[in-house]
Amino acid sequence: MAIRTWNIDPSHSTIEFSTKHMMFTTVRGRFKEFQGKLHLDREAPDDSWAEVTIETASLDTGAPDRDGHLRGADFFDADKHPRLMFRSKETIGASPEEGARFRVAGDLTIADTTESVMLDVLFQGRGTDPRGNELVGFQASCEIDRRDWGLKWNQALEAGGVLVANKVRIDVEVQAVLEVQAG
């Protein structure tokens, strides 16, 4: 079996992030607009790969002032860099069995900076929806240091520490639909 292409369904998928605020509370956000493809090989799962494009300005933390700051030059600079990109480079230990855990190494590009990340991935399963579309589901997560991408803005706190933690957790839930080939 050759590699089959699956389109990420944004209405049934999430790309979320979280970090500590003032060193003790967690702030969460998500990107509302993204697209991507999974190129999956059931017989040789480690030959599979993924590519995702995220619209930077679609970030939402539930606080308009904070969202504006994050979209601005101190962080993502969404006007100058409208997209974040992820492209996998290596799939390690994948299996077509539901519940399989594996890792995916890839390049994450934020603004002008590309750095390697390692995702921990869970294959959640496959099935067919009521319209006959074949679906697959994955969960993935990683932790990054935002400074590696030049996102260094911060503010020192009077009591010690900083306003925004440098470690950021990324959590992804993906449902993808098999791309039907014309012909």
Tokens 């520490």 belong to which residue? Answer: 161
- What is the reported pLDDT for 74? 87
Distance CA 173, CA 98 (A): 15
Look at residue 152 in the predicted model and tell me its pLDDT.
Answer: 78
What is the value of pTM for the model shown? 0.91
pLDDT, residue 49, reads 96
Looking at residue 163, its pLDDT comes to 66
Residues (pLDDT < 50) of the chain are none
According to DSSP, the residues that pair with 48 across neighbouring strands are none
CA distance 159 to 76: 28
Rounded Cα gap, residues 87 and 94, in angstroms: 17
The neighbouring-strand residues paired with 142 are 170
- C-alpha–C-alpha distance, residues 126 and 135, integer Å: 5
Domain segments of the chain: what residues? 4-178
pLDDT at 30: 97
Consecutive H or E run containing 67: helix 64-71
Q: What is the reported pLDDT for 21?
A: 74
Identify the architecture of domain 4-178 in CATH.
Beta Barrel (2.40)
pLDDT of residue 22: 66
